[in-house]
Structure 1
Amino acid sequence: MSDPTPAQTDTLDQAMTAIARGQAGEAERLLARLVRERPDDPAVHRALALAAMRAGDVPRAVAHLREAIARAPGSGLLQCELGRVLAQSGRFEESLACFERATRLRPDLAEAWYFLGITQARLGRKAPALEALRRADAASPGQVPIMAPLADLEADAGRIEAAQALWLRLVQLQPREEDVHLKLGESYVHLGQPAKAREVFRAGLALLPGSAGLWMSLGQLLEDAGDRDGAAEAYQAALARRPGWVFPLAALLSLHRSGADEALVARAGQLLAEAGLDDADRALLGFAYGKVIDGRGEHERAMASWHVANAARRRVAGAFDREAFLADVEATLAAFPGPLPADVPRGAPDPRPVLVVGMPRSGTTLVEQILAAHPLVAGSGERAGLSKFAESLPPGPCLDAARVASASADYLAELVRHASRPEAQRLVDKAPMNFLHLGRAAQLVPGARVVWCRREARDIALSIYGEDFAPGSRFATDLGDIALVIQAQARLMRHWQARLGLPVLEVCYEELVAGLEPMARRLLDFVGLPWDPACLAFHASQREVSTPSRWQVRKPLYTGSVGRWRAHAAALAPVLSLLSPDDPSPALLLG
């Protein structure tokens, strides 16, 4: 094919200018003559495809790009453009093939790697999407459209440090983008550096004082740090900037409870009465509103609010699958019938881990706080490493020695990273639901000790039902489901005590609040540390606490929560028979 004449080049340039201006008709008029003169020119067919896209004619655009590719089969750019057109029309699998061909033809073409990654991510294929976006970033560093989704995928893959490095670059490139400051701050929280996260949010607010999201996030971290006044100020600032936002309103109600401002309480009541309130907001606000009026002695109205909140949460998150849960429990019991066989690979016998388990709201945060007040103990909060390892495998011990060693090292590193004292001799993981995974714990951290927190089952049930747990805790939205999990927990823990070999100390919440020092001494004896009176002043600790019990553990012990269920006995009546101290048949619980 001969080179275009100057006049033909000029015509093509005019057509491209018309396309850029949105003048598809004019572009097609200019190109009609040109395609007759140069029918084998891929640049002309590409221009016709761009004009067709401007006109909204996807089939014609695809046809012209295929014509261009037929005449220039080695063009990675044309393959990439065809992929984009196909993706825009929802033909994602076809577009992937084009992007893949483009990257083979032009490994240096960042655009092809970018669209390959974005399309893979859209199809839920996160691992190949991550790899493609890494290639895009390497081919063209510093491009915001590439870095932003890449950072999200790195974080989703658990590579928080890699994501953080990208968000640090993005903050420099987009200093007035709220989302970047939020994600950077969250990355520091995930890495156990809440003080640094607060700095990030404050720096963001210096640039974006009108950001309700940054005020809200700062408030949550100030609350975790025990700064009630600072948290309240931040929540009020968030609400002032977004007056209809339920999140800060609910936070203020939960922060002040029975002492909440009457105008805020009234506003919450009005919103809950609106039929159009989003279910996610109805749940969030309903839990908080119930706490306020329950604290004022209006127990029936509080329970009614919690009923509404839990029903809304179930509509958002779905119902708890009782049969699947009990099947998992049975599989766990069968997979770990006794101590691990000698030939099963194990992690290093590190004496530092202390696993505080039991039902949520059974006193796990209080036990962690008491232990963490000792100068040789650090609280690491609720860590996910053990549950992630357990849930990634079928029931039974893992026989892959390398995988066990890696997971053990990762879990210990996670405990250290989040520890209030990284050099501590004992590291407390207080993820309550780890009672499901103690068979795995015996393999990953065979030197661990287990503290089992127990509490009056009816008080646990009430406390869970009235608390705003994460949507994934589906059992928490139904009293019958809560009863089932309480009993399954007791059954598992009795099994672990009798069969597993890990040392287990039972701590009764009612005994603990009735006599702190004897129980604190038992705890320290159990974890192998000398007595220290600092444990009696656990409430004076300045460590971060991010669980719903954050304010309770900042006060001296009190017995006001013991027997709290009695004020709600009528509402609890349908499940009272299921809330016996120990283990009835699972079949009974499904009735």
Structure 2
Amino acid sequence: MPQNTAAPVANVVRQAQQQHMRGNIRQAEQLYRQVLASDPRNPEAIAGLGLVAAQAGNLPAARELLKKALSLQPENPDNLVNLAKVDIGLNQPAEAERALLDALKRRKRDAAAWNMLGWCQQRQGRLTEAVDSFRQAVRIKGDLPEALNNLGTALMLLGDNAEAAKILARCVSLAPKAAQAHMNLGSVYAALDKEADAIKHGKRATELAPQAAEAWFNLGRSYHTFDHADQAIAAYGKAVELAPQAAQFMNNLAQVLESALRSDEALAWAEKAAAMAPDVSEWSENLVRGYLVRGRLDDAKATAEAFLARHPDTLGMRLLLGDLAIREGRFEDAKAAFSALLEEDGSRARALRGLARADKVKAGDPLLDRMADVAAREDIPVEDRVELYFALGKANDDVGDVDTAFHFYAQGNALKNRGCRYDPAKMEDHIDGLIETFTADFLAERADWGDPSERPTFIVGLPRSGTTLVEQILSSHPQVAGGDELPDFNQIERLLKRRVGYPRGMATAPRAAVTDFAPGYLAHLERIDPDAVRVTDKLPGNALRLGLIALMFPQARVVHCRRDPVDTSLSIYFQNFGGAHEYGYDLASIGHFHRQVDRLMAHWKSVVPTPVLDVDYEAVVADHEGQGRRMIQHLGLDWDDAMAAFYANKRVVNTASVWQVRQPIYKGSVERWRKYEAHIGPLLDALGMTR
């Protein structure tokens, strides 16, 4: 009579599985092999050996064993789920997804399988489907932390930060020691502008996982978002220490160092990021911009050209080279660069804009219709449409079609203004605070705080008031270097707001709160030109900081640029600024801001010891040599004939006036507003002008 071996084999399989569940992997493996010695096609033993191989890190072998088990037992959902786990480990999300879908046909209420399916879909870029799968996992098992964390993260990536915060907070309450969930919750709170919560959970993630570089990086981002520069530098630095090959970590460290005015360190890290990932365009493009800001044109060009030699089709870098040509005044080169980009794809908004910036557009130029056609397309990003509306405004102004030009300018401004939050009452309160704080007595009591250097020269005024033209004339003098719009005092103001409550908090601020910044600023000027007697800083917004400037550099010179208020305001309205000009996209807001700056300038002139020279744009246009002599005398230097041919100055120009300052004196902007008078009623009213 034949011996029945089925029962003994089943018993050994159960023993093997029990040992496996207890973590006794070696014993389990021996028992699985014992089963296969007598039953080579036993699917449970083959699948068990597949799991053993997976736990040992041998994923290819695990995959083969699990597939063999499935060929013998195709209806087993456990084997399908385990195969999916192995495929995920092999970075094969599409293969894993197929296995999971098969498993879920057989076992629909498997929360872990739905969670893994969502991960596979997200990894393949199908974020909406992933959210649906994660939701299904949570419906089945509401206390599954992994699914909650994944759902919250996917919602955050979709921009639904409010719901993401609720889901991730629930995850943290269920798994308070899950570092990843704390990290993600900190990120979403940062996106919701909840500073305390963002930093709290970001710090908790680093406490739970102190060796996790990503946790430190995310904490650094939260600190960076809320202007805690020192803490952001420390957190990013820790991330780089733990992950010394991570170029993104280095790039963010460079950015926050720049904001903390540690420019040399910032550039060094930007260079390291680009070197660490030489084929990632973002880091090399950031480095090129860093070189441009510092006036290192040769380095900027060499970096861009070296990258393009390896990756000739990189759009961002090719656009940067075109922009660099404009800044250097090589307009024909710029037009050639942008035209080549448009031959490949006529819908490239930045290339169309660049072509419009590189020269005056003439009537009948097909560029007008090309830009209008692209701007009318519904599939282009809003920011590209904004760029094209402003470019179309400029181009139609060039050809003298005033009504069409204003139509496009108004459309561009309306779109841009959606994201702006100019608050007239808040601006008035800020100006009041400056006037109340920086009195003549306040400055006199702190007269010994300042650095005696006479090198800093500040060119201030409203944007579009002639600051670029004035700097171009002054920097044509061999002893004057043009620094362009330096970010230093903007950053200093931000740091003082956080540290002492600027401006009103300056009344009780310690001396070091101001004097600690002077050496860094002077070092910046030294880097621009170590031989220059004067170095200009033409950031227009420094008009709001002359009290602070007087505290730091009482011997500095200030040139205050003035221009017809309507011409100035209209020119602001016609410019798509890259930085923070919240007031700049609404006619009434521009007029209000203009009057507030005028009010503050009147105060500064009555209290600051720093010499201030008013220079009217119209006077410069009428007699640039005479005004140049006034200005250079104000700087304590003798006239040089090179100043008469300022338009031949080859320095880089980064502002919207780049074309005009490359020409002999430009008179077309005087009383330009008269052409647009029918369209600018709100501006005239805000400026208090009768109509």
Is 1:298 aligned to 2:401, yes or no? yes
Name whichever of 544-553 and 385-394 sits farther off.
385-394
Name whichever of 261-270 and 504-513 sits farther off.
261-270
1:248 maps to what in 2? Answer: 351
SS in 2 for 1:341: helix
Is 1:273 aligned to 2:373, yes or no? no
The whole-number CA distance in structure 1 between the counterparts of 2:222 and 2:460 is 38
The whole-number CA distance in structure 1 between the counterparts of 2:602 and 2:185 is 58
The whole-number CA distance in structure 2 between the counterparts of 1:205 and 1:553 is 30
1:329 maps to what in 2? Answer: 431
Q: What stretches of structure 2 of length at least 5 have no aligned partner?
A: 1-18, 31-48, 67-76, 84-110, 119-136, 148-174, 189-199
Is 1:7 aligned to 2:27, yes or no? yes
SS in 2 for 1:234: helix
How do 1:305-324 and structure 2 match up within 5 A? 305-315=408-418, 317-324=419-426
The whole-number CA distance in structure 1 between the counterparts of 2:324 and 2:608 is 38
SS in 2 for 1:477: coil
Report the residue type matching 1:410 in the other structure: G
1:264 maps to what in 2? Answer: 367
Is 1:426 aligned to 2:534, yes or no? yes
2:326 maps to what in 1? Answer: 223
Q: CA deviation at 1:267?
A: 1.6
How do 1:32-181 and structure 2 match up within 5 A? 54=116, 82-84=178-180, 97=204, 99-103=206-210, 109=211, 112-118=212-218, 121=221, 124=225, 130-144=233-247, 147=250, 150-151=253-254, 154=257, 159-181=262-284
1:25 to 67, 74, 78: 78
TM-score for the superposition, normalised by structure 2: 0.70
The whole-number CA distance in structure 1 between the counterparts of 2:588 and 2:459 is 25
The whole-number CA distance in structure 1 between the counterparts of 2:202 and 2:491 is 34
How much is the aligned-residue C-alpha RMSD, in angstroms? 3.6
The whole-number CA distance in structure 2 between the counterparts of 1:86 and 1:15 is 29
Q: CA deviation at 1:122?
A: 6.1
How do 1:548-563 and structure 2 match up within 5 A? 548-563=656-671
Distance 1:236 1:400, change over 3 A: farther
Distance 1:333 1:229, change over 3 A: same
Choose 1 or 2 for highest CA Rg: 2
Q: What stretches of structure 1 of length at least 5 have no aligned partner?
A: 31-48, 65-78, 104-108, 582-587
Distance 1:467 1:228, change over 3 A: same
Q: CA deviation at 1:322?
A: 1.1
* C-alpha contact 1:377 1:427 (8 A) present in aligned 2: yes
The whole-number CA distance in structure 2 between the counterparts of 1:264 and 1:241 is 15
Q: What are the Cα deviations for residues 212-257 of structure 1, in whole angstroms up to 9, with x where unaligned?
A: 1001111111211111112222223344455433112112112223
Q: What are the Cα deviations for residues 193-223 of structure 1, in whole angstroms up to 9, with x where unaligned?
A: 2331121111111111101100111111121
The whole-number CA distance in structure 2 between the counterparts of 1:513 and 1:148 is 43
Is 1:565 aligned to 2:668, yes or no? no
How do 1:155-554 and structure 2 match up within 5 A? 159-259=262-362, 262-275=365-378, 277-315=380-418, 317-338=419-440, 340-343=443-446, 346-391=449-494, 392-393=496-497, 394-396=502-504, 397=506, 399-417=509-527, 419=528, 421-470=529-578, 472-554=580-662
Q: What are the Cα deviations for residues 81-114 of structure 1, in whole angstroms up to 9, with x where unaligned?
A: 94337757999877863541332xxxxx4xx233
Distance 1:328 1:89, change over 3 A: closer
SS in 1 for 2:651: coil
The whole-number CA distance in structure 2 between the counterparts of 1:158 and 1:472 is 18
Structure 1's consecutive aligned runs of 4 or more residues displaced over 6 angstroms after TM superposition are: 27-30, 49-53, 55-61, 88-95
The whole-number CA distance in structure 2 between the counterparts of 1:18 and 1:100 is 32
Name whichever of 402-411 and 439-448 sits farther off.
402-411
* C-alpha contact 2:461 2:467 (8 A) present in aligned 1: yes
* C-alpha contact 1:215 1:237 (8 A) present in aligned 2: no
2:43 maps to what in 1? Answer: none
Report the residue type matching 1:489 in the other structure: V
The whole-number CA distance in structure 2 between the counterparts of 1:100 and 1:260 is 65
Distance 1:236 1:122, change over 3 A: farther
The whole-number CA distance in structure 2 between the counterparts of 1:461 and 1:84 is 49
2:161 maps to what in 1? Answer: none
* C-alpha contact 2:621 2:665 (8 A) present in aligned 1: yes
Distance 1:155 1:445, change over 3 A: closer
Report the residue type matching 2:305 in the other structure: R
SS in 2 for 1:469: coil
The whole-number CA distance in structure 1 between the counterparts of 2:655 and 2:329 is 12
The whole-number CA distance in structure 2 between the counterparts of 1:252 and 1:478 is 26
* C-alpha contact 1:15 1:26 (8 A) present in aligned 2: no
The whole-number CA distance in structure 2 between the counterparts of 1:8 and 1:158 is 61
Report the residue type matching 2:180 in the other structure: R
Q: How many residues align?
A: 541
The whole-number CA distance in structure 1 between the counterparts of 2:24 and 2:218 is 36
SS in 2 for 1:569: helix
Report the residue type matching 1:225 in the other structure: E
Q: CA deviation at 1:134?
A: 2.4
The whole-number CA distance in structure 2 between the counterparts of 1:313 and 1:3 is 61
Q: CA deviation at 1:329?
A: 1.0
* C-alpha contact 1:363 1:453 (8 A) present in aligned 2: yes
Q: What are the Cα deviations for residues 409-451 of structure 1, in whole angstroms up to 9, with x where unaligned?
A: 222222333x3x3311111111112111111111011111111
TM-score for the superposition, normalised by structure 1: 0.81
Report the residue type matching 1:482 in the other structure: I
* C-alpha contact 1:213 1:238 (8 A) present in aligned 2: no
The whole-number CA distance in structure 2 between the counterparts of 1:292 and 1:318 is 25
Q: What are the Cα deviations for residues 527-571 of structure 1, in whole angstroms up to 9, with x where unaligned?
A: 111121111011111111111111111111132221211111111
Q: Among all aligned residue pairs of Structure 1 and Structure 2, give the percentage whose two residues are the same amino acid.
A: 31
Q: What are the Cα deviations for residues 359-416 of structure 1, in whole angstroms up to 9, with x where unaligned?
A: 1111111111111111111111111212322342321546322232221122222233
Report the residue type matching 2:486 in the other structure: R
Name whichever of 159-168 and 491-500 sits farther off.
159-168
* C-alpha contact 1:465 1:479 (8 A) present in aligned 2: yes
Distance 1:168 1:427, change over 3 A: closer
Q: What are the Cα deviations for residues 248-292 of structure 1, in whole angstroms up to 9, with x where unaligned?
A: 211211222323883322121123334555432222111111111
Name whichever of 87-96 and 257-266 sits farther off.
87-96
Distance 1:90 1:250, change over 3 A: same
2:3 maps to what in 1? Answer: none
Distance 1:405 1:154, change over 3 A: closer
* C-alpha contact 1:347 1:445 (8 A) present in aligned 2: yes
Name whichever of 435-444 and 51-60 sits farther off.
51-60
Distance 1:153 1:50, change over 3 A: farther
Name whichever of 486-495 and 323-332 sits farther off.
486-495
Q: What are the Cα deviations for residues 301-320 of structure 1, in whole angstroms up to 9, with x where unaligned?
A: 111111111101101x2242
Report the residue type matching 2:349 in the other structure: V
